Amino acid sequence: MRRDNCHANHAGGMTEASQINALIAGHQSSTGAAVEVLVADRGYGTVDAFCDLVEQGIRPHMTRFLPSIHTSKGRFTQNQFRYDQSTDTYVCAAGESLHPRRVHKRRQMVDYVADPKTCEQCALRSQCTKSKLGRSVSRHMRQEAFNEAMLHSRTDEAWQDRRRRRYLMEGSFAQSANRHHFKKSRWRRLWRQQIQDLLIAAVQNALKVSATLGKAVAQSNPVGVVVDGGIGRRLLTALRMFLEPFETASPTLCRLVQRGAPTPSAFAH
């Protein structure tokens, strides 16, 4: 059985990464299954989010919100500095040590800086830094967890999950916005907007179920045999009857459901 995935999505007006724990809790509450993998777009990919997921035993299949390394053309990147855990120092390409100097508590980062005098006399200076204060690199306080998260996010499986998310979730959002006015609120107050969102979701689900049932009916009958719409058409009819009171508020939804569906009277008997 394929591992259970949580596909991240959030409401507007808040940062994506801040909603990850709530989304995971909601997913587990709805499905009764523990989340093993989280698939999300770049907006969720902060360093803290990556570290939190790894520490919870969840594999993050998302990309970073910001580039992993700030690079200057023709100069050494942080990947070319080796971290020595026993001495808590970085070693540069010339074999010199960079020691921890500055701590940024809010960003949870530590700056490692080389001796300016050493950098001034270094033969590799032109390939490393222009700073008069010496070369520096930054390390997150939870760098080990972040490194593990990066390994998960760069696997072929993670790439396939992100690709699958694009056409499954982004396609659904685009359909709801282009066909069902998902981005236009017809009622004031959040609880009324939630009604509209639930109606949109109901229409999309009904159309998917109808399409799936239609294919099943077509495959189970020989070519040339005419079959009734069956459960799929009855489902659309029931949904049409349910949406009639809302027609003045959201006529687009009702028109989409009514397309090709029988009249309510056909469902009465």
Does residue 166 share a domain with residue 49? yes
Looking at the structure, do residues 38 and 170 belong to the same domain, yes or no?
yes
Q: Is residue 71 part of a domain?
A: no
For residue 2, the model assigns a pLDDT of: 45
Q: What is the pLDDT of residue 4?
A: 55
pLDDT of residue 86: 92
What is the pLDDT at residue 10? 54
User: Does 173 lie in the same domain as 215?
Assistant: no
Q: Please count the structural domains in the chain.
A: 3
**16, 106: one domain:** no
Q: Both 48 and 158 in a single domain? A: yes
Same domain, 163 and 199: no
SS3 at position 70: coil
Same domain, 36 and 91: no
| One domain, residues 169 and 244 | no
pLDDT at residue 212, rounded to an integer: 74
Residue 162 sits in the same domain as residue 137 = no
- The three-state secondary structure class of 179 is helix
pLDDT of residue 237: 63
* Amino acid in position 228: D
Angle between helices 47-55 and 20-31 (to 10 degrees): 40
CB 153 within 8 A of CB 62: yes
* pLDDT-flagged residues of the chain (< 70): 1-14, 66-74, 214-269
pTM: 0.61
* Any domain includes 12: yes
Residues 185, 252: one domain?
yes
State the pLDDT at residue 145. 93
How confident is the model at residue 227, as a pLDDT? 46
**pLDDT on residue 238:** 62
- Whether residue 218 is contained in a domain is answered as yes
Strand partners, 136: 113
Check residue 202 and give its pLDDT.
84
What is the pLDDT, as a whole number, of residue 268? 37
Residues of the domain holding 96 = 78-142
Determine, yes or no, domain membership for 73. Answer: no
Q: Helices (DSSP H) in 68-189: which residue ranges?
A: 116-121, 143-153, 156-165, 171-180
Say whether both 192 and 244 belong to one domain.
yes
Residue 266 is predicted with a pLDDT of 37
- Whether residue 58 sits in one domain with residue 126: no
**What is the rounded distance in angstroms from the CA atom of residue 175 to the CA atom of residue 255?**
15
Q: Is residue 43 part of a domain?
A: yes
User: Is 72 contained in some domain?
Assistant: no
Q: What's the confidence (pLDDT) of residue 259?
A: 47
Q: What is the pLDDT of residue 236?
A: 60
Whether 128 is in a domain gets the answer yes
